[in-house]
Amino acid sequence: MKRTFAQSLALYATVIFTLLMILFPVYWLVVTALSTTNELYRLPPTFWPTDPQWDIFARVWAAKPILMWLWNSMLAAVGSVALSMLVSVSAGYALSRYSMRGGATMGLFVLTAKMLPATLLVIPLFSIFSSFGLIGSLWTLVLAHSTMIIPFATWMLKGYFDTIPKELEQAAMVDGCSPIGAMVRVVLPIATPGLAATALYAFVLSWADYAYARTFLVNSPDNWTANLGITTMQGEYVTYWNDISAASVFIALPIIAIYLFLERYLVGGLTAGAEK
Amino acid sequence: MANISIRNVSKSYGALNVLRPFSLEIENGEFVVLVGPSGCGKSTMLKILAGLEPATEGQIFIGDREVTDLAPGDRDIAMVFQNYALYPHLTVRQNIGFGLKMRGTDKTEIDRRVDDAARILEVTPYLDRKPKDLSGGQRQRVALGRAIVRQPQAFLMDEPLSNLDAKLRVHMRAEIGALHKRIGVTTVYVTHDQVEAMTMADRVVIMQGGLIQQIAAPDELFNNPANLFVAGFIGSPGMNFLNAELRDGQLTAFGQQISLPRATTHQGPVVVGLRPEHLTLGEGPVTFSVRPTLVESLGSEKYVYFEAEGARIADGEDSKSKGLIARVSHSGALPRNEEIRLGFDPAQLYLFNFKTGERL
Ligand SMILES: Nc1ncnc2c1ncn2[C@@H]1O[C@H](COP(=O)(O)OP(=O)(O)O)[C@@H](O)[C@H]1O
Ligand SMILES: [Mg+2]
Express each pLDDT in A26-62 by its tens digit. 898 888 888 887 777 777 777 788 788 888 888 888 8
Would you state the pLDDT for residue B335? 79
Does A270 score more than 70 pLDDT? no
Give domain status of residue B358, yes or no: no
A174 interaction partners in chain B (CB closer than 8 Å):
50-52, 72-73, 77-79, 99
SS3 B167: helix
**Model pTM greater than 0.90?**
no
Query: Of the residues B229, B250, B270, which one is the last residue of a structural domain?
Result: B229
ipTM above 0.90, yes or no: no
SS3 B99: helix
Q: What is the CATH number of the domain that holds B36?
A: 3.40.50.300
Does A257 score more than 60 pLDDT? yes
Question: Do residues B291 and B342 lie in contact, with contact meaning Cβ atoms separated by under 8 Å?
Answer: no
Q: Whose CA is nearest to atom 1 of ligand 1?
A: B13
How far out from the chain centre does Cα A272 lie?
Answer: 28
B146 interaction partners in chain A (CB closer than 8 Å):
171, 175
Whether residues B63 and B143 share a domain: the answer is yes
| Lowest mean pLDDT across A154-158, A266-270, B116-120 | A266-270
Q: What is the CATH number of the domain that holds B301?
A: 2.40.50.140
Contact A175 B99 (CB under 8 A): yes
Whether residues B213 and B295 share a domain: the answer is no
- Would you place residue B311 in the very low, low, confident or very high pLDDT band (cuts 50, 70, 90)? confident
Question: Do residues B59 and B66 lie in contact, with contact meaning Cβ atoms separated by under 8 Å?
Answer: yes
Whether residues B169 and B189 share a domain: the answer is yes
Question: Which domain range does residue B116 map to?
Answer: 4-229
Neighbours of A214 (CB within 10 A): 15
Give domain status of residue B157, yes or no: yes
Query: Of the residues B229, B258, B275, which one is the last residue of a structural domain?
Result: B229
- Mean pLDDT across chain B: 90
Q: Is the CB of B41 under 6 A from ligand 1?
A: yes
Query: Of the residues B229, B245, B272, which one is the last residue of a structural domain?
Result: B229
As for how many domains chain B has, the answer is: 2
Whether residues B195 and B292 share a domain: the answer is no
Give domain status of residue B151, yes or no: yes
Whether residues B225 and B242 share a domain: the answer is no
SS3 B252: strand
Whether residues B199 and B294 share a domain: the answer is no
Would you state the pLDDT for residue A101? 73
- The share of chain B scoring above pLDDT 70, in percent, equals 98
Q: Is the CB of B240 under 6 A from ligand 1?
A: no
Whether residues B108 and B247 share a domain: the answer is no
Whether residues B70 and B154 share a domain: the answer is yes
| Lowest mean pLDDT across A173-187, B77-91, B239-253 | B239-253
pLDDT tens across A198-237, in order? 998 899 999 999 989 999 988 888 999 988 998 888 877 7
- Would you place residue B309 in the very low, low, confident or very high pLDDT band (cuts 50, 70, 90)? confident
Give domain status of residue B360, yes or no: no
- Would you place residue B99 in the very low, low, confident or very high pLDDT band (cuts 50, 70, 90)? very high
Q: Is the CB of B42 under 6 A from ligand 1?
A: yes
Domains and CATH numbers, chain A: 5-54 (no CATH), 65-266 (1.10.3720.10)
Whether residues B168 and B23 share a domain: the answer is yes
Whether residues B330 and B209 share a domain: the answer is no
Whether residues B220 and B329 share a domain: the answer is no
pLDDT tens across B29-59, in order? 999 999 999 999 999 999 999 999 999 999 9
Whether residues B19 and B125 share a domain: the answer is yes
